[in-house]
Every structure is written in C-alpha cells, then in structure tokens.
Amino acid sequence: MTVESPCIRTCTLDAEGRLCLGCFRTLDEIMAWTQLSEAERAGVIARLSARRSAHAANPRGPAAGVP
C-alpha cells in the first residue's frame, strides 16, 4: 500500500515558519517525503491530526507537537 502525500496545495506556514498549515507537515517532513519509507510516511500521517487539533486550539501559539 502506498502512503500518498497529504499535500492539499494550500501551502501557508505557521508564524514560526516550521509547519505547513495546509497539510500540517513540518518543512523537514515535506522535503524528505520522497525519501521516506512507507512506514515513515505512515508515521508522519499519524501525527497530522494531533497537530491540526493543537493548531485549532491555539492558532497563534507555537506549533504544538512539532519536533
């Protein structure tokens, strides 16, 4: 099974410039996406929902859950 990119082509960075508010991946995750294994991609996908929720709860705060 291929893990597809979560990109929705709405690229906007958070205030810190570390997190895309379209797909909620970090810049490092976006840059590495094509080199990640399927398991690593699945791990990224698993973290996105928590990041989206954290941002919704505190949209002006630091990117919660971003390593």
Q: Where do the structural domains in the chain lie, given as residue ranges?
A: 11-59
CA separation for the pair 4, 43 (Å, rounded)? 12
65: closest CA among 11, 30, 18, 5? 18
Least confident range from 2-6, 35-39, 54-58, 60-64: namely: 60-64
5-38 residue pLDDT tens? 999 999 999 888 999 999 999 999 999 999 999 9
pLDDT value of residue 67: 55
Examine the pLDDT at 62 and tell me if it is beyond 90: no
